[in-house]
Structure 1
Amino acid sequence: MNTRKQQGFSLIEVLIASFIVAFGVLGMAALQLKTLQAAHSAYQRTIASVIAMDVVERLWANIAMNTPLTVTQLQQQSLSHWLQTTNSRQSLPGLGLTLTNTAGTNTYVITVTWTESRLETNNGSSQFVYSLDLYPSS
């Protein structure tokens, strides 16, 4: 008597279980995509950090020169160096570099900017700002 009312119940269970599994797989795929985006962003920030450290080394070398370069010349020299990607050197898409010196101090601010196409933050642009004092002022 009750067997007739329960026909098709297993099919509904299978459909609900399939829906739950599909939703879980979709969530895992979204998580994987976000992980890849974050890893790529971290990679680009690492390259930006390397570029900023290269500018710091150029600033230190500039102090030892007989005829030191100006801040603008150092900025142009560093930017042109990192825009050339010969010898498998890595660079950043849409690379921009700004080097500023606070007047009357030894404080320099290095700003590395690039376009971030994988993340939809800040209209696709990212920046890394590094500030340093070359030597203590007396």
Structure 2
Amino acid sequence: MWWGAVVLKSSGIRWQHGFTLLEVLIAVLVLSVGVLGLAAMELKGLQSTGVAYQRTLATAAAQDGVERLWAELWSDNTTCPAPADVTAAWYAAWNGILEEMEDSGSDIVADASDPCLYTVTVRWSEGRFSSETDTARLVYRAKLPGGVAP
């Protein structure tokens, strides 16, 4: 099988076989850039998966806070519960799951004009993917009925 190229010279015909060193180096450079791009894309994918997981946990924590308010409303169905009635148990349940949830300012607050309208704010640290001082925040609003008949 013939893999060469014909090179014309003044002295005659010479056969050249294979690649030159420059062609091989350029091919290695192009391949290296491609592999580095794939590695960077894989890292971004892993970071996005981690952030999505943390946000899913934050959503579950916020919903859990609202469900704790519903449970308090069910036990005393005359008035909407005070957020302080459920906050301590809520922190205890979620602080180990979301990093630094209690320390970063997560809270359940009743609206001043409507005590049955609550804002649940969940903050947590995403230290693996950002600087240690950065916290992520999710705000969840819920309205409970103003007392239910037994």
Note if 1:24 corresponds to 2:30: no
Question: Structure 2: how far apart are the matches of 1:114 and 1:30?
Answer: 26
Question: Structure 1: how far apart are the matches of 2:92 and 2:66?
Answer: 16
Identity %: 35
CA RMSD of the aligned region, Å? 2.9
> SS at the partner of 1:114?
strand
Gaps of 5+ in 1: 86-90
The offset of 1:32, in angstroms, is: 0.3
Match of 1:33 among 32, 43, 57: 43
The offset of 1:47, in angstroms, is: 0.6
- Cα deviation code 1:94-123 (max 9, x no counterpart): 113200111131211001111101222794
Note if 1:72 corresponds to 2:84: yes
Gaps of 5+ in 2: 1-8
Relative to its length, the structure with more helix (as a share) is 1
The offset of 1:80, in angstroms, is: 1.4
Question: Structure 1: how far apart are the matches of 2:119 and 2:130?
Answer: 26
Corresponding pairs, count:
130
The offset of 1:69, in angstroms, is: 5.3
TM-score in terms of structure 1 length: 0.80
Which residue is 2:119 aligned to? 109
Which residue is 1:88 aligned to? none
Match of 1:95 among 76, 96, 101: 101
- Between Structure 1 and Structure 2, whose CA radius of gyration is higher? 2
Counterpart of 1:95 in structure 2: which amino acid?
Answer: M
CA contact (8 A) 2:98 2:124 kept: yes
